[in-house]
Copies of this chain bind each other. A is one copy, B any other.
Amino acid sequence: MVKLSLIQFAPEISNKSGNLKKIEEFCKKSQGDIILLPELATTGYAYPNTESLLPLADKLTQNQEIVKYFQDLASFRDSLIVVGLPEVSEQEGKVSLFNSVLAVDKNGIVEVYRKLHLFGREKKIFTPGSQKPPVFSFRTYKLSLLICFDWVFQELFRLLSLQGVQVVLHSANLVLPWCQRSMIARALTNGLFIATANRIGREREGLDELTFTGGTQVVSPQGELLGALNDDESILEVEFDPAQADKKTIGTNNDRIKDRREDIYKLEWVVKSSHDWEDLKKMAVKAKSNAYTPYSNFPVGAAVMDDRGFIYGGCNVENSSYGLTMCAERSAIFSMVEDKGRKIKKMVIASNSGVYPCGACLQVIAEFADEAEILILNNNGDEKRCRLSDLMPHRFSKLDLT
């Protein structure tokens, strides 16, 4: 069983220290193993532009003051705190502002999620996220994070359910009337718990006044409301067993996940998470099982990741003329190129004995890589790691043609 505390309150615009103080009081009162707070809980919502919010935004890396603040709060009852706040990030001299949630425990940052689907004027203020929502463990439970308007995009819930997520922690500043009752269908048809912590209160946005709707709630995989607040400042405490989400059956003959017709429709992440190598290894091994090798009986699978994080598989394809046989490595690269990929970052090559790529493949890899990390896998799962430059120290390239 996990205890969830959802905190519904009205952050005061521009009063960050006041809001943090209030959050601290709430957190200390909460009984939850997990404490979920609304979107932009430290700063309030309706800023006119990026510049006005930027000074209140935090970097979300370990040892930042704000992280330590929540880390201390999480230590108080050994809980996981999930809080919405503006995140500033500097990369290659470019400053970006994200609408993020931070998940933190007594050891520091667990995950950061940057809102993928920005709502209304947020589009003018924030940079949208570019990574899929994290899937992570807390105790024995599998969790993920979403923010407010993300709720409209059903693909997220389905994909998280397919990844085994049991509880979606949804941090919100809702102003539209539809989310809360729609979450019943989202939870039910994906078979997971959805906890929405929404704020209350009003803020002026230009000429409009925004009214945040409260209605903080937790919905079960059976579409039941396990608890809900109205529009007052309050904590919702709900206890349930996340493992119930593992049961996807409906009645005796149906299953919300297994009954999906993957032969008819296909849903998948385009962007992969940080577990690149695991994804690549899996794909290479799977590709190997599809190799067409009636002549050599020497199957090889390959998976390549480009600089956009997209991954492609390939297997060897033999031919009765022998000379037109194609290697797994090149086959994967050709798929990448067809999908606009032009730069190889990582590659996994899987074969029974763990062979290195042939010279022809090295030449084609070199066409699309300044450098590439290559992992060679054999049947026993033994790994050899190398770089293109180890395998082909002197390259012939298009530069030699000019």
Contacts and interface: CB of A to CB of B under 8 A. Distances in A.
A262 B270 contact: yes
Contact of A152 (B123, B189, B315): B189
Contact of A363 (B123, B259, B295, B324): B324
Interface string A104-145: 000000000000110111010000101110000000000000
Contacts of A296: none
A259 B153 contact: yes
A338 interface: yes
A159 B254 contact: no
Contact of A260 (B153, B188, B397): B153
Given A153-B259, A185-B182, A364-B324, A317 B334 contact: yes
Most buried by B among A121, A156, A178, A269: A178
Q: Which size class do A's interface residues fall under?
A: 35 or more
A401 interface: yes
B266 A270 contact: yes
Interface in A305-321: 313-315, 317-321
A337 B293 CA distance: 11
A181 interface: yes
B287 A314 contact: no
A355 interface: no
Contacts of A131: 264
A91 interface: no
A39 B236 CA distance: 42
Contacts of A259: 117, 152-153
B339 A314 contact: no
A247 to B, nearest CB: 15
A338 B287 contact: yes
Contact of A266 (B268, B318, B400): B268
B397 A320 contact: yes
B267 A155 contact: yes
A250 interface: yes
A263 interface: yes
A132 B290 CA distance: 26
A261 B131 CA distance: 10
Contact of A154 (B154, B271, B396): B154
B292 A342 contact: yes
A242 to B, nearest CB: 21
Given A260-B155, A320-B396, A324-B364, A253 B119 contact: yes
A340 interface: yes
A294 interface: yes
Interface string A160-199: 0000000000000000101001101110110000000000
Contact of A398 (B119, B130, B291, B294): B294
Closest 7 CB pairs of A and B: A182-B185, A331-B334, A185-B185, A320-B398, A155-B265, A267-B267, A317-B337
Given A119-B251, A184-B185, A331-B337, 19 more contacts: A119-B253, A149-B254, A154-B189, A156-B265, A159-B265, A176-B250, A181-B181, A185-B186, A263-B271, A265-B269, A266-B267, A315-B338, A320-B397, A320-B401, A324-B363, A324-B364, A324-B367, A331-B338, A335-B338
